[in-house]
Amino acid sequence: MNELFNVNNKVIYDINTTILYTSSFNYTDDAIYYLNNNCIVITKDRGMDTFKISNDIFELFHEEKLIHKKDLTKIDELKLKILASLNTNKTVFVFFDVLTYLDKDFKERLIRYLILNKKRIINYTTDIEETLLLDYLVVLHENKIIMEGKKELVLQEEKILKKLGFNLPFIVELSNGLKYYGVIDKVYFNNEELVNVLWK
């Protein structure tokens, strides 16, 4: 696999990656630029890019209301910033504490759109639920990598995660409980899959 980026001198290969970090982690915009020149970095605080947003993009994301809306909320501005970023030739999209503010529908459409267009995603977050969005998971504490690997394997390390202040994602915790009582025979990382199994 091709190298995607480095975090704390550790190579992360070409796979969509969540960086779950504890609140003690400090960053500056400059610190994110080391990823590589093919990245576009989106943060809450950085200004909006001036890329044009096509009507097709507004329709695809069901955000046509933003075209003529006068009083934009902070979330509206964040959505516009993200939609504007899609009109770029950058191949790696880095979200830094951004996705957690978006509604579920917009977030899922965004991830699906980027994957279909062969873009790579790096999502820095403190929200354990967002670890379910992407394939690979890196857990960062005080600038040190504590764990990394496929999300299904890392999320089995409940004791380590709890020691760092994280509970398991709701669907994983629910699956664990149902498996313990013999209702299901494995842990699920996707709401739809678990619902389908329970309704059979």
With helix as H, strand as E and coil as C, how does 57-117 read?
A: HHHHCCCHHHCCCCCCCHHHHHHHHHHHHCCCCCCEEEEECCHHHCCHHHHHHHHHHHHHC
- Convert the pLDDT of each residue in 118-138 to its tens digit: 999 999 999 999 999 999 999
Q: Does residue 15 sit in helix, strand or coil?
A: coil
pLDDT at position 40, please?
Answer: 85
Give the pLDDT of residue 22.
85
pLDDT score, position 118:
93
Tokens standing for residue 132? 């379910």
Question: Cβ of 89: how many Cβ atoms within 10 Å?
Answer: 6
Give the C-alpha distances (Å, rounded to integers) separating 10 from 3, 13, 65, 88, 148: 10, 10, 43, 27, 10
> Residue 27: what pLDDT?
56
From the CA atom positions of the chain, what is the Rg in Å?
18
> According to the model, what pLDDT value does residue 24 have?
56
Low-confidence stretches of the chain (pLDDT beneath 50): 29-30, 33
| Count of CA atoms in the C-beta half-sphere (13 A) of 62 | 8
Give residue 8's pLDDT. 62
Tally Cβ neighbours within 10 Å of residue 102.
17
For residue 9, what pLDDT is reported?
66
| pLDDT at site 63 | 93
SS3 190: coil
What's residue 3's pLDDT? 66
